[in-house]
Structure 1
C-alpha cells in the first residue's frame, strides 16, 4: 500500500524480531518526528490517547481500558489517563498509522526481546507498541526506610516480546554498560534502561539549594550490565524554560519563590548580629 500523497514513496525499515514477527515502520522529521507503522490485515497497534496524526481508511480506532496497561484506580482518581487507543486493521490490504511525538525529540524503536522482555522507562516515554507489549506502573507502596530505587523515578515498565516505540526529548544517546561499569546521569535525563542495571539515587542538599539557589537536580549512579537511553532535553526542563521566558523582561516575586527564603535568611542573620552586639556591649 502506498504512503500518503504528500510524502515520498514508502520505503519502510523492516525489522524482524527474534520471535519471527516482522514490523515495517518509518520515522520522518527532524525536531518533532512522526512514526508511520505498516499494519497487515488483523494486526493492531496500541498507542497513547491523542497520539494519532493520520491513518489509512481501512484502520479502525477505539479507546479501550486495558487492565494490564494502566497505573491503577488511584491514578485514575487523581486525573491520570488509564485508557489506550487501539488501531486495528480490519481490511484485507495493508494499512498504516501515523503517530506524532508529543514534544521535540527522537522516536526510539525498541525490540523487547533484546531486553529479556522487560524495560523500565519514564512515565511519558512510551509512545506506542505493536504485538505483545504491556505497560504497567512500577510505583508500589514501600517502607520509608528503604532507599528510593529506579521504580520511583522510572515509573513505567514495559513487558512482552513485541516492538515498542519510545520518545526522548532533544537528542537521545544509547550507552551500553559492561558488567560493573558505572556511569552518573541526571535522573531526569534517563528515558529507559534495562532492568539488569543497578540504580542508586543521589539526593542533593535541599537546604543548601533553597538558600543559594540552583536547579533541583537529582543524579543517579548506574552500574552495568545493561543498556540505558539518555535524553538531552527532558520535557519538564523544556516546559520550565518556556514558562520562565515570559518573565525575562521583568520577573515578578511570584516567579521566584527562593527570593523570599533569601530575604528571611537575611533578616534572621541581621537579627542575630544585632542581638549579639547588644549582649557583648552589656558584658
Structure 2
C-alpha cells in the first residue's frame, strides 16, 4: 500500500494505492474516485458499531464502505465533505487514538474502530458528539474543517480547547468536558463547552469550527417570505 495527501490544507485529497488483497474502510460518502479494478462493498462490518447504534449515536452515517483490490492494483481517493485537511497516522498496536466521530475518514483493515463513551448519561442527544476508539496496527486517515494543528503535552500539562475544534487525541491524554464558565460533568457537545486536556500525549485540533461557521452563517440567510 502506498498513500499520499495532496492539496493541503484547504482542499486535501488522500490518494491510496492498493495492492492485490489489500483494502481500506472509509466513511460513507468519503470516496471521491476509484480505479475500475477496485471492488466496493457497503456494510457495517469490521470493528464499527452495528448500523442501528451508529445511527442513533449521531455524527457518523449508517454505512461503512470497504474498498478492496482483488486481482490487480488500484487506487482509491477520499476526502471530507467540508474544506479542510487530511492527516495519515500510523497505529503500532501499542497506541490508542480517540477520534471525534465526524473526523474519521478512513482506515486500513488492521485498524479496529469502536466507540468510547464521551461523558454524560445524555449521550444519546441528537447534538451529541461521541468518540471513536481506534486500536490495532495500520493507517488511519483523520480529517478536519480547516487545517490540523497537533500539540504535544508533557506529563501533567493542562490545555483547554473548544469542543468544536477537537479532532483526535492519544488515549494517554486525560480529558474533562465542561462549560467554559465552570467544570462539571456534561455532554460533549453544544455551545459554550470546552474540553480540558491533561498530558502526557498528543492531540490534534482543527483551525475552524463547524458550529462557529453555522452561527455566523444562519443569521445571514433570508427568512422565508423576507426581503
| Count of residues paired in the alignment | 211
**1:167 alignment partner in structure 2:** 143
Query: 1:188-234: per-residue Cα shift (whole Å, max 9, x none)?
Result: 2110001111112232459xxxxxxxx93212221110000011112
- The CA RMSD measured in Å over matched residues stands at 2.9
> Which SS does the other structure have where 1:70 is aligned?
coil
Residues 1-283 of structure 1 aligned to structure 2 (within 5 Å): 23-30=1-8, 31-66=10-45, 68-70=47-49, 73-76=52-55, 81-92=61-72, 94-113=73-92, 116-139=94-117, 153-204=129-180, 216-247=191-222
In structure 1, C-alpha distance between the alignment counterparts of 2:119 and 2:14, rounded to whole Å: 36
Structure with a larger share of its residues in helix: 1
Normalised by the length of structure 2, the TM-score is 0.81
Higher relative contact order, structure no. (Cα contacts within 8 Å, ≥ 6 residues apart): 2
Query: 1:147-194: per-residue Cα shift (whole Å, max 9, x none)?
Result: xxxxx8552111211100000111211101111111111122110001
Conservation of the 8 A alpha-carbon contact between 1:154 and 1:192: no
In structure 2, C-alpha distance between the alignment counterparts of 1:141 and 1:72, rounded to whole Å: 22
In structure 1, C-alpha distance between the alignment counterparts of 2:120 and 2:191, rounded to whole Å: 24
Conservation of the 8 A alpha-carbon contact between 2:157 and 2:198: yes
Unaligned runs of 5+ in 1: 1-22, 145-151, 207-214, 253-283
Q: Report how far residue 39 of structure 1 moved.
A: 0.4
Question: Considering only CA atoms, is the larger Rg found in Structure 1 or Structure 2?
Answer: 1
Structure with a larger share of its residues in strand: 2
In structure 1, C-alpha distance between the alignment counterparts of 2:118 and 2:181, rounded to whole Å: 26
Conservation of the 8 A alpha-carbon contact between 2:170 and 2:203: yes
> Which SS does the other structure have where 2:47 is aligned?
helix
Q: 1:143 and 1:172, CA in 2 relative to 1: closer, same or farther beyond 3 A?
A: closer
Q: Report how far residue 72 of structure 1 moved.
A: 6.1
Q: Report how far residue 26 of structure 1 moved.
A: 1.8
Q: 1:82 and 1:118, CA in 2 relative to 1: closer, same or farther beyond 3 A?
A: farther
